[in-house]
Amino acid sequence: MNRSTIVSGDAITQVNSTTYTDVAGLYAGLDRFPGETSDQFMRRVQQASALNQGANYEGLLNQLNLLFGLSPAEIFQVSSPGTVFSFSVSVKGVVLSSGQESLSVPTWTVDSDNFWKWRLISEVVGDINKSRTFKATLLEDGPAIQMVKQANTAQVRTADVVGTTFVFNEEFVDQNSILFNVAVPNWIFSDNRSLLFDHPVPDNTVMTYRYFSCPYTVVGYPAAALSLTDPGLKDIAVTSKGQMIYQIREYLYAVALQDRSYWGN
């Protein structure tokens, strides 16, 4: 006689079956979270294959966020209508500069107990919008520590130059940053997008240059990180009264517990 068994839905425990996705995750160095679907896990695996996970600041951030199943997000956009500007984020805060105005915006305050209190991203955006020329649009709010170290400048290191004309792919090139690997004929910067030489350049000429991204979209990481070796940390790790910031004191204590070589005799 055929018999069937009815299992109540409440008695079923959610588990992850081993699939091709799980095998792909092994190659990416990731484990599937409890309850994470194959589609969700595969998106995380694909991110792992595309994102930089090298031994640098960006790589560390990507590793942390992939490990916890988090993703970087666009948090606000900044612009300066009609002018090129530089923008950077560091542990000291946000710095904007153009030919018309310079602005520094802190991302943290210190309370009476020498404790860092991170401002909201919306507060930083509000301070930028109080300036004369810079404009910012909030896309996603959160603690300002999520505004990881970044800048709207980038470097092109090996651009091959041939003949008498070179056309830039980028719109806002810093003319003062242009360098060649050999001596080249006289040149002029034309239409803000091209170089014109009065004679053909030598063979194997290579150029490096820097450019600005304007407007710029600021990226935030839910799991951010600070480095104790960051050159700017020394300027904010101590209060105006010469007392060490509480979090820095705790970080140093944790490091000393892990490596006793930091302990004095």
Each residue's pLDDT tens digit, 70-83 = 888 899 999 999 89
Q: Which helix or strand (DSSP H or E) is residue 251 part of?
A: helix 246-258
Overall pTM > 0.85: no
Each residue's pLDDT tens digit, 100-131 = 999 999 999 988 888 889 999 999 999 999 99
Each residue's pLDDT tens digit, 156-167 = 999 999 999 999
Q: Could you check whether the bond before residue 106 is cis, i.e. omega within 30 degrees of 0?
A: no
Whole-number Å distance between alpha carbons of 2 and 213: 70
Q: What is the percentage of the chain residues whose pLDDT exceeds 90? A: 46
Residue 253 pLDDT more than 80?
A: yes
Q: What average pLDDT does the structure give for the chain?
A: 86
- Tell me, what DSSP letter sits at residue 244? B
Whole-number Å distance between alpha carbons of 151 and 134: 16
Cα 220 to its chain centre, rounded Å, is 7
C-beta of residue 119 within 8 angstroms of C-beta of residue 109: yes
Average pLDDT over residues 46-58: 81
3-state secondary structure of 26: helix
Average pLDDT over residues 175-203: 92
Task: Please report the beta strands in the chain, taking only residues with DSSP state E, as ranges in sequence order.
Answer: 73-79, 85-90, 93-98, 102-105, 108-110, 116-118, 135-138, 150-151, 153-161, 165-167, 172-180, 187-190, 194-197, 205-212, 216-220
- In sequence order, the β-bridge partners of residue 211 are 154, 173
C-beta of residue 217 within 8 angstroms of C-beta of residue 207: no
Each residue's pLDDT tens digit, 1-12 = 555 444 444 544
Band (pLDDT 50/70/90 cuts) for residue 18 is low
Instruction: Quote the pLDDT of residue 2.
Output: 53
Instruction: Quote the pLDDT of residue 12.
Output: 40
Average pLDDT over residues 244-260: 83
Average pLDDT over residues 33-40: 85
Each residue's pLDDT tens digit, 197-250 = 999 999 999 999 999 999 999 999 888 877 778 888 888 888 888 888 888 888
62 burial via Cβ count (<10 Å: 0-12, 13-18, 19+):
buried
- The beta-carbon contacts of 17-21 under 8 Å, at least 24 apart in sequence, are 21/45
